[in-house]
Amino acid sequence: MARAVVQRLRGLVPYGRALELQERLAAGLRAGERPAAGGAVGTVLVLQHPPVYTVGKRGPGGDLMEGEAALRAAGAEVFRTRRGGQVTFHGPGQVVVYPVVDLRALPGRVGARRWVEGLEDTMVGACRAHGVAARGRVPGRTGVWVGDWKIGAIGVQIRGGVSTHGLAFNVAPDLARFAAIVPCGGHGAGVTSLAREVGRTVPRREAEDGLLAAFAETFRIKLEEE
């Protein structure tokens, strides 16, 4: 079974800092380095960001409902990235998982499509563990959905066989922040959270553990805490 190292980053991690960390880890994997003894296939970063809107390669079009200056004035950063996808929001109460992984070292044939589908399955599994029926692979829509409400977003970049970026799972973020954008191009769709669906506060650690367990099962990876 493949192995990966888990790093849980405390506090609110600025988006730029997380991006630099991913790029450094990815460069090491492309150069043949393996984290930890025994040759792990990569590092899974688990964190929360301060308020930030990120624009993928297919954004923004008309998906920024407010100008960038207005978003910054409201206390959020705006980043343009090289990941796939369109516009999304990250902030406190949302668990972000960035698996910086050498896909060539995973069991089976894991190409870009299977990787993205597996990240969807990871969030679906985390929802199921809390009794919430969610689904991915919705025609014309990206991410994971509870009915017509989006609960999780996905955006990845794969270069040299190594994936960066990943998934964002809404545990209990400020959902009003999403009103400033069309999340991931989902015109006419709303945004929900795990806390809203289960009707209670879900501790961050509990949400992280659920995501990591589902990720490990989906990709047949043994995760080891650093």
* Bridge partners of residue 150, in order along the sequence: 145, 191
CB 169 within 8 A of CB 127: no
pLDDT at 190: 87
List pLDDT tens digits, range 74-103. Answer: 788 888 887 766 788 999 999 999 999 999
CATH number at residue 80: 3.30.930.10
Helix axes 112-128, 204-219, angle to 10 degrees: 140
CB 11 within 8 A of CB 46: no
Residue among 101, 89, 77 at smallest CA distance from 7 = 101
Residue segments in the chain with a per-residue pLDDT below the cut of 70? 36-38, 57-67, 84-85, 182-189
Known catalytic residues are: 184
Range of the domain at 147: 2-225
List pLDDT tens digits, range 175-207. Answer: 998 887 766 545 556 899 999 999 999 999 999
**Is 43 in a helix, a strand, or coil?**
strand
pLDDT at 61: 47
**Is 92 in a helix, a strand, or coil?**
coil
pLDDT at 34: 76
pLDDT at 13: 98
Helix (H) or strand (E) holding 118: helix 112-128
pLDDT at 66: 62
**How many domains does the chain fold into?**
1
pLDDT at 86: 74
